[in-house]
A = this chain, B = another copy of it.
Amino acid sequence: MTYRIGELSKEIGVSEHTLRYYEKEGLVVPERGENNIRRYTEHNKLWVEFIIHMKETGMSLEDLKNYTQLWESGEEGTAEMIEILTNHREKVKKQLDTFRKNLELLNKKIDFYQNSLKENKSANLYKTFVDKKKNDEKL
């Protein structure tokens, strides 16, 4: 079973424009059927999905282009594929850490501002700009 560009686009939530762009870049090149119409196979679909997952964690299309070529080369590219993947894994691990830390920071900031709102309402105090500034900087 194959997909037309419009079908695949809807199935996976990637615009037709983008799919054509990926084809131009050599990332996912579907076969062509009658009337020169693109026919995406199940494998093509899985490959696009893989690309999306890698992009979600910040892999560049450049790297993905590279990786795709290695994949297409068969056995010989395997070692280099592993290298790309492990390099990326390290990047993902670091980013996970960054995200965790920044989630903490966000929690603190949000707490701080929610409290400063509450205090202002209940005590009807005017919390000056300067105070706010000072407290905010501690976060």
By a beta-carbon cutoff of 8 Å, the part of chain A in contact with chain B is 42-43, 46, 53-54, 56-57, 71, 74-75, 78-79, 81-82, 85-86, 88-89, 92-93, 95-96, 98-103, 105-107, 109-110, 113-114, 116-117, 120, 126-127, 129, 132-133, 136-137
Contact A102 B56 (CB under 8 A): yes
Residues of B within 8 A of A109 (CB): 85
The distance from the CB of A74 to the nearest CB of chain B, in whole angstroms, is 4
Taken together, the copies of this chain in the complex come to 2
With A85-B113, A99-B57 in contact, do A75 and B105 touch (Cβ < 8 Å)? no
Q: Are A106 and B89 in contact (CB under 8 A)?
A: yes
Closest Cβ–Cβ distance, residue A53 to chain B (whole Å): 5
Chain B, residue nearest A43 (CB): B137
- A92/B106 in contact, CB under 8 A: yes
Q: Are B75 and A113 in contact (CB under 8 A)?
A: no
A96–B54 alpha-carbon span in the complex (Å): 14
If A75-B132, A117-B78 touch, does A110 touch B95 (CB 8 Å cutoff)?
A: no
A82–B110 CB distance below 8 A: yes
Contact across chains for A110 and B98 when beta carbons are under 8 A apart: no
User: Is there an interface contact between A129 and B57, defined as CB atoms closer than 8 Å?
Assistant: no
A42 and B71 CA atoms in complex are apart in Å by: 51
